Chain A
Amino acid sequence: MLLSALLILPLLGVLVPLWAHQYGRTRCAWATAAAPALALLILFLNLPGIADGQVLASRATWIPALGLEWHVRLDGLAWLFALLILGIGLLVILYARYYLSEKDSMARFYSYLMLFMLAMLGVVLSGNLIQLWMFWELTSISSFLLISFWWHKSEARRGARMALTITGAGGLFLLAGFLMLGQVVGSYDLDQVLAQGDLIREHAWYPAILICVLLGAFTKSAQFPFHFWLPHAMAAPTPVSAYLHSATMVKAGIFLLARMYPALAGTELWFVIVSSVGMATLLVGGYFALYKHDLKGLLAYSTVSHLGLITLLLGLDTQLAAIAAVFHIINHATFKASLFMAAGIIDHECGTRDMRYLNGLWRYMPHTAALAMVAAAAMAGVPLLNGFLSKEMFFAETLQQELLGGLSWLIPALATLAGVFSVAYSARFIHDVFFNGEPIGLDRTPHEPPRYMKIPVEILVALCLLVGILPSFTVDGLLRMASGAVLATELPTYNLSIWHGFNFPLLMSVIALIGGITLYSQRKRLFLFHSRFERFDASETFERQMQKFLAWAVSLQAKVDNQSFQRYLFALLSLALLMAATPLLDLYHLEGGRELHPLDGVSLMGFVLLAVGSVATVIWHQQRLVSLLMLSVVGLVVSVAFARFSAPDLALTQLAVEVVTVILLMLALFFLPQKSHPDSSPSRLVRDLGLAAVFGGIIGSISYALMTRPLDSISHFFLENSKSGGGGTNAVNVILVDFRGFDTLGEITVLGIAALGIYKLLLRLRLYMPASDGEGRAWAVERHPRMLATLSQSLLPLALLVSVYIFLRGHNLPGGGFIAGLVTAVAMILQYVAHGVDWLQPRLQHLKYQRMIAWGVLISTMTGMASWLFDRPFLTSWFDYLHWPLVGKFEIASAIAFDLGVYLTVVGATLLILANLGKMTTVARPQRQAEE
């Protein structure tokens, strides 16, 4: 449980800033920091067990049938990452307090940040592959929100879209890979997957699994050729860059490689792909970092390069290389996060990040400059700093490789070249920004930032120094713990000391340092050379490709969907025809054996009316009012038919629905042209008539076949159990609110959504009141006749009484929430018709139909959930009989609360649609609220 708290705390933390921001910015920052600080405490409480090599786990069943499980799993590697996420997260919260300007919404920023923290912790702590994947996608989404935090800038939106597209696509590959892994191993449980490494590696699907998982990891960690999204994600606020794009999220891919190391690594394929991609990324990132004039651009490419280095280490396939990889993860997180924060401070104080204008800042902000220089030196791999140690280990490992045979010398040579780049861009960061003359064209005089803005940087830089000088006292234990989890075997011996004597790695370091400084001193020629290449902007290319893709999708959609209602209907009916007619072909006899009822006069009359009404609707379809009247004849006959065949509930409902529908159509007709278009072309007429005739024939045949066969359906069950199981004698209502209550809940939700959707559509609609009716007559002078108004007003209480009556008796006699809701709605609409909106609006201003819908769905859902309190499944209903004095035996059923929800939703939805459509040409028309 304590482990699950590691995830629950940040989840609660998402809400904290939204509440705390009203108490001021500093308090908001403190309140936000509370959850991660507590989580960090819990993490340290678990340290002793983890240090002993244990794997702590907390499990809960989720969907066991699908192999899904809530599994929080903490081992050394997860512990290390959780420490980075929470520790740097806390520093970033403090830093962002001073970084964000007054205009930026702090609550929104912190909320997104906590969401991201939750996602990231979820990734590292998941013990189930699918759960891991879920959090993986959540990191993509939250990072999208964070990159686009300044959504008014187009570069931020573009960068966010690009990051989401690339990492999201990678996430889908990852899911595919995980699903295959689950199939191969037979479980999504991480422990089992990690234990079955040999089985996975020998399986025929191994290459596919590996490639899918690697695609997920490489896109997330910005590996070549997917590296281009990371520099564009720098449009994010700098705290985000420091947190997501250097310390944590981009490490998620690396984390995945390390996590899957026992299961997937150790084959030729792994070595070839991972090491070559890592090497390419290392060189490409390092090379391009050199030419970036933007401070954050330089850091972004250097991050790409360092991520490549870690990937390369994981691909080198020796155990020591994996340890070096873990070590570099720690070191890179500390120095790169502090560098980003320093860059943010410089941007904050100077108003620009362009290194062509930033010069000589040493004089203006010596403290920040000192911090940034130490961190940059760590990035370059200068001795006595942490970057030096992991880089030494990296160089040493490249020397051990014999996998390229005679060409194995290439690996250390290229590694040294990458070291040269790294030193060169670090030198540029230090020299160009803090020395090299005076700043050019700044609109302000730079000065030191607020005291607390520097504290996070100071802490991180102090860590760089501590680790660099006293590695075995500081980082050794952590490294052992995490590496042990990666390798899942006994660790080989290694030595973390600073001085290993004169050897090849040291020589490579010296070459890198001297070479890098030489390269930087020749930068003018280099820049000239680089500028001769054709300019390539990944963002624009990506955007162009996306636009092309979008245009293609739109044109494809336009081909399928030409917005013609007739065409939709034709397609729908044809499909239904096909599906319905096929089984009929297999039917031997259309007529079943059942005896037919004798035909009586009343039924015959009903049939004739129905047929006449239907045909008349079609014949007069051009006169819309007449055809509407004919349509209502059909509806009326149908409801009478329901009443005749002992379905009073349906009859009542049908009647009420009929009334509402006719009013709705009348309203629509008011705005529509009075006459419809001339007839369709003869060929189309024949086609449509043919389809209609065939469809009618098929439906008729099906009905005939069904009704002439003996009925044996589930309905007997409902009839027999409605009293004993649901406590009501009206089986229809008991089915609605009890037996199939879940259906009803879904239906009212759909009804509510539909009503809200129509409301939203009406917001956009501009309708004008026709100046006259179809024949050119002006509208009547008396808009709301006194007699109608007065009487309809007196009718309202009566109608409400009726609906209460229908509602209450619904459980045992025909009625219920649905019908009662419709009756109330009709009575209310009558008020609108009789009095007009101007009269009604002030009297109904407290009645918000949207809220009514929300309450309705909420009450029904809560009624359903209340059964959980009694350890029963969702929507179990409860009823009992009470003996009241005077009233006598009285039934109480929880279903009535459910029915109340139905009632409210129906009233709210019907009125939201009808009242707002009726209001379209008045001052009370629905309007969009002003943007915030």
Chain B
Amino acid sequence: MHFEVHLPFWLEALVAFFLLLGAVFAFIGSIGLARLPDFYSRLHAPTKATTLGVGGMLIASMLHFSYAQGSLSVHEILVAIFLLISAPITAYMLSKVALHHQSPSVQNTQGQDLPQQLQQEWHRERIKSKTDKPKLPG
């Protein structure tokens, strides 16, 4: 496959724009991952900003290769679907683990009483599941 295709200027500009947009988002996401104060807020950076960043790059790639191959490039759509499925789920799972581990949070993070509530709820459920166990006959 040849990648060295000369694009018309407007398309090249568009591709460059989306690449840069994606890069900026990814960069912001990375800064956020490094700088945000606690786990809960830090989680937003890679899952939201970086996903957007990758999305920008995918659009750029789609434009470039659709032109280069002369037909619509659909790989990127598939990549985007996988990304849009996996990123939120990952974030969801990670936050669940953080809540379970009672990861400390800074004052400004919202939902300060959520861990407390969850712990109580889980405690109730544990007791319930223990008493629910079928008793041995006799």
Contacts and interface: CB of A to CB of B under 8 A. Distances in A.
Q: A and B from one assembly?
A: yes
Interface in B64-110: 78, 81-82, 85, 89, 92-93, 96, 100-101
Interface string B34-59: 00000000000000000000000000
Contact of A780 (B85, B89, B100): B100
A788 interface: yes
B125 A781 contact: yes
A791 interface: yes
Interface in A749-807: 777-778, 780-782, 785, 787-788, 791-792, 794-795, 798, 802
A777 B103 CA distance: 13
Main secondary structure of the interface of B (DSSP, over half): helix
Contacts of B93: 785, 788
A794 B126 CA distance: 30
A791 B101 CA distance: 24
Contact of B126 (A781, A785, A802): A781
Given A777-B101, A778-B126, A785 B96 contact: yes
Nearest to B122: A781
A785 B92 contact: yes
B95 to A, nearest CB: 11
Interface in A781-837: 781-782, 785, 787-788, 791-792, 794-795, 798, 802
A455 to B, nearest CB: 63
Contact of B89 (A781, A788, A798): A788
B89 A791 contact: yes
Contacts of A798: 78, 81-82
A791 B122 contact: no
A778 B89 CA distance: 23
A777 B93 CA distance: 17
B126 A788 contact: no
A777 B126 CA distance: 13
Contacts, number: 29
Main secondary structure of the interface of A (DSSP, over half): helix
Contacts of A794: 85
Given A780-B100, A781-B122, A781-B125, A788 B81 contact: no
B129 to A, nearest CB: 8
Contacts of B85: 791, 794-795
B53 to A, nearest CB: 18
A780 B125 CA distance: 11
A550 B56 CA distance: 70
Interface in A257-306: none
A792 B92 CA distance: 13
A780 B81 contact: no
The contact size tier of chain A is 10 to 19
A730 B85 CA distance: 31
Nearest to B102: A777
Contacts of B81: 798
A795 B101 CA distance: 28
A722 B91 CA distance: 45
A782 B121 CA distance: 11
B92 to A, nearest CB: 6
Among A780, A781, A791, the most chain B Cβ lie within 10 Å of the Cβ of: A781
Contacts of B122: 780-781
Contacts of A777: 100-101
A781 B121 CA distance: 10
Interface string B101-138: 10000000000000000000010011001000000000
B82 to A, nearest CB: 7
Nearest to B121: A781
Contacts of B82: 795, 798
Interface in B6-40: none
Contacts of A781: 122, 125-126, 129
Nearest to B1: A813
A562 to B, nearest CB: 40
B89 A787 contact: yes
Given A778-B126, A795-B85, A798-B81, A788 B92 contact: yes
Among B82, B93, B100, B122, the most chain A Cβ lie within 10 Å of the Cβ of: B100
Nearest to A790: B89
Among B78, B89, B125, B126, the most chain A Cβ lie within 10 Å of the Cβ of: B89
A787 B101 contact: no
A788 B89 CA distance: 6
Contacts of B89: 787-788, 791-792
A798 B129 CA distance: 36
A900 B129 CA distance: 46
B61 to A, nearest CB: 15
A792 B101 CA distance: 24
Contacts of B126: 778, 781
A787 B92 contact: yes
Contacts of A792: 89
Contacts of A791: 85, 89
A901 to B, nearest CB: 27
B46 to A, nearest CB: 15
Contacts of A787: 89, 92
Interface string A223-237: 000000000000000
Contacts of B129: 781
A777 B100 CA distance: 9
Contacts of A780: 96, 100, 122
Contacts of B92: 785, 787-788
Contacts of A795: 82, 85
A128 to B, nearest CB: 58
Nearest to B124: A781
14 contacts: A777-B101, A778-B126, A780-B96, A781-B125, A781-B126, A781-B129, A782-B96, A785-B92, A787-B89, A791-B85, A795-B82, A795-B85, A798-B81, A802-B78
Q: Report, nearest first, the 6 A-B pairs whose CB atoms are least far apart.
A: A781-B122, A781-B125, A780-B100, A791-B89, A791-B85, A787-B92
Interface of B: 78, 81-82, 85, 89, 92-93, 96, 100-101, 122, 125-126, 129
Given A781-B122, A781-B125, A794-B85, 6 more contacts: A780-B96, A781-B126, A785-B92, A785-B96, A795-B82, A802-B78
